[in-house]
Chains A and B, each alone.
Chain A
Amino acid sequence: MAKKRVVTTTINGKETQFLCQPRQTLLEVLRDDLALTGSKEGCANGNCGACTVLCDGKAVDSCLVLAVEAEGVEIETIEGVAPVDGLDSLQDAFLQQAALQCGICTPGFIMSAKALLQEQPDPSEEDIRFYLAGNLCRCTGYDKIVRAVQDAAAARLQV
């Protein structure tokens, strides 16, 4: 087996070191070694977005990132989204709009939507739909997800 590597990263604001094989994906290490199971595996080839995390603020499919590539990277996962005293406005909007059914895609959608609202604070419906096309949901038909992101954008602009 190839030599294992020590990787030093920041995950959800906390400096984290882990040991990994080069062939392990970031998703695998997050889930199996660091017990951060909020990021989900839906397809393992970058087509469903369920494993979306932010690396240095950019949304990526963690199934297509090697864990060794995370050296020096700031990672944010779904577990880091909620503030200590409640929920993020995106999380709240997903609940208010009933924008989830089974919920397996929800962490990925929230991470992508978070990146969207950082880049485009006031997106149109078209912008939202285009930006979130890399996240698949099979339950909702997307209507309520799009509305939730619209609500969260409005809530963020009000603050």
Chain B
Amino acid sequence: MASTSYKVIGTRPIRHDGTDKVTGRAQYGADIQLSGMLFGDILRSPHAHARIKSIDTSQAENYPGVRAVVTCADLPEPEQKVADLGEGDVNLYHLCQNVLARQKVLYKGHAVAAVAADDIHIAQEAIQQINVEYEVLPPVLDVLEAMEATAPVLNDDVRTDSMAGEESADPTNVAKHFFYEKGDVEKGFEAAHVVIEREYRTATVHQGYIEPHNATALWNQDGQITIWTSTQGSFMVRQQMADLLQMSESKIKVVPMEIGGGFGGKISVYLQPVAALLSKKSGRPVKLVMDRAAIFEATGPTPGSYIRVKMGADREGKITAAEAYLAYEAGAFPGSPVSCGCMCIFACYDVPHGRINGYDVCVNKPRTNAYRAPGSTNAAFAAESVVDEICERLEMDPVEFRLKNAAQEGTRRVDGVQFARIGMRETVEAIRDSEHWKAPLEGKHRGRGIGSGFWFNVGLKSSVTAILAADGTVSLLEGSTDIGGTRTSLSMQLAETLGIAAEDIKPAVVDTDSVGYNDVTGGSRVTFSTGIAVHNAGLEMRRQLIERAANIWEVDASEVQYENGEVRGPEGKVFTFRELAAKVHATGEPITVKGTSGSENQAGAFGTHCVDVEVDPETGKVEVLRYTIAQDCGTAIHPAYVEGQMQGGAVQGIGWALNEEYVYDEQGAMLNATFLDYRIPTCYDLPMMDTIIVEVPDPQHPYGVRGVGEVPIVPPPAALVAAIYQAVGVRMRELPASPPRLLHQILQAEAVE
């Protein structure tokens, strides 16, 4: 489907950082070694909810080998201020308390104090020497219970903020209430032939990146701070650090190391400010690395949720009205992605009349953070499951239903936004036309399901610098940290713009002092937005090369054209890119250009997935037999890495659907904070993941790119539970559809029969 006019876009070059990553030479955050470096560790709360009565660090300070101990007292008094981190906001007053607890601990694993010592073992021993006196408070772990008036309240400063700008009078766990309405909902339901209303629950799940959070800091004697860390946004780290430490951003340099996965979870700071404080106190560089239990217990999972969906459709299968109530766990501090859930829940469809209420609710769990299409997967599970039931009642093919109701250019969402050119319908058509959908599914206890999903994708700001070298190569300095191959997808766009080979671009992700401002690597934005910046830099380089050639040829620049990597003048004059590059130094100033982006907004992306499962009806175990992902990618720059995003996202969705969940005891202690019992899929759990790249170019990007990273996680849970229903006749309305839950439903259904 790809346009054939591109030379570089749509090809599959070897990624530029590939050799370093297959030889073990790539430097990730925890790999850094600095002379005189100390190792730190963090004391974490054993309680889910408690008031801190006192912290005594004196024994730890005197422990042999200890160089510094810090607590919240070492951080400036925080301000109430909201910072935009690209994939969600954060209130700095809360962020500060999350980094090192102040009056209260709000979840088990909440950081309370930290130690830097000569080696990690001493640091681990020393934190045990810190005495914290707690007054234990009752925790609240369930989102609906936390909304009740009698529930323990986590934060004294939180009032319900409604969209009308009103605030509740008393402290509450309900931090925000979102409300959207379109048309006349009651009238819409009256027009319906079928109305289905169901309740859904989803468990708290974690991003599950393999690389632990890490930060190494040097607070130099001149007052300059350098942070080496794995992050999705080095500029966001700088901003959060400056706000928390109440100092100028210019005092802080963030060096982004290779990042071992993020999925939204490595935007907020956890360790970075603590490492900086420890460095300041010890006068030495300090490295902090989280252990896996702390990652689960104290870093951004994505919320557990309660969702109620009501949807009506007429006899022909046209949706007449839809209504949703969403309550998402924010964790310890406000900020769940429930607003995104509200905006995504019916986004796949043209809903003439709709109403959505969303609630952001604090519970005694770690403060949630972004996770791949944050909020959308929970919502799609509920809405798509209702769609599946409507199709069953109408005896209608779910593909046909989706085609009949698909959102398209001009469709207005319930939250008011009107879609630009989008490819929802095309992804459904791609599944309809796939080998998978056409193949009969045979065998006992097998079922097939489909599901669709939407994610916005964002634009935001990027800056790059491109430097022409005399040998005809171009260095590309960028600030978008590369989690999944964006050095290459950006280099390919620059190569396409300049008409040279991808291999002739030398990309580097550089520190915050060495490139202009870049927003976070998130929101599926880098290949889109940093891509636009790269394209702009390429255009500027072309302009300067034209000017240079005109000077050399002593003609007017208007007589010179740039095409296919060549500069052409009158009378057959021509320079190849390399020839002209070789002349640059001798003929004028060096050519170093910048490119920026920031005014463009993506139109959003859709995906439709099809899955076959076999269920063991005696154990409730689900085997994924076959899986096909169709997704609108706009234009696939590097198809292999586009496929990789689709496959990886879908597998995270499969994990979410079948096995992943936070399990807590009544006191709020997470019981499964290991990769043994928090079960992300292994390769033995999966088949090959087939992909269909649909290309409906986004007109706002010069090459038609749409972000591809997030939407593939959205459809799997809905598609899987639809397939499970077909296989064994039970509807799973709670995630994960783990064997004990599914078997329970199967046994209940058998008992009724």
Contact = CB atoms under 8 A, between A and B. Distances in A.
A and B found bound together: yes
Interface size class, chain B = 35 or more
B412 interface: no
Given A107-B24, A144-B647, A129 B483 contact: no
B292 to A, nearest CB: 4
A123 B243 CA distance: 54
B23 A101 contact: no
Contacts of A110: 22
A106 B644 contact: no
Interface in B608-667: 638, 640-641, 643-645, 647-652
Contact of B675 (A23, A47, A77, A102): A47
A35, A36, A47, A107 — which one has the most chain B CB atoms within 10 A of its CB? A47
Contact of A77 (B15, B24, B27): B24
A104 B650 contact: no
Contact of A41 (B212, B644, B686): B212
Interface in B123-147: none
A8 interface: no
B648 A95 contact: no
B666 to A, nearest CB: 26
Given A44-B291, A45-B674, A104-B260, A140 B212 contact: no
Given A42-B211, A97-B640, A144-B647, A104 B484 contact: no
A28 B119 CA distance: 11
A102 B212 contact: no
A39 B25 CA distance: 10
Contacts of A128: 683
B21 A140 contact: no
B520 interface: no
Interface in A90-142: 91, 94-98, 100-107, 110, 125, 128-130, 132-142
B58 interface: no
B28 A40 contact: yes
Interface string A65-78: 00000000000011
A38 interface: yes
Interface residues of A, number: 61
A102 B689 contact: no
A87 B19 contact: yes
Contacts of A133: 682-684
A45 B686 contact: no
Nearest to A46: B676
Given A23-B121, A79-B24, A104-B260, A143 B688 contact: yes
Contacts of B682: 132-134, 136, 142
A43 B675 contact: yes
Interface of A: 21, 23-24, 28, 31-32, 35-45, 47-48, 50, 77-79, 81-82, 87, 91, 94-98, 100-107, 110, 125, 128-130, 132-147
25 contacts: A31-B31, A35-B33, A38-B23, A40-B260, A44-B291, A44-B292, A48-B210, A87-B22, A94-B18, A98-B643, A100-B18, A101-B641, A102-B211, A102-B260, A103-B21, A125-B688, A129-B686, A130-B684, A133-B683, A135-B683, A136-B680, A139-B261, A140-B648, A142-B686, A143-B688
Minimum-distance CB pairs A-B, first 3 = A38-B24, A104-B260, A141-B647
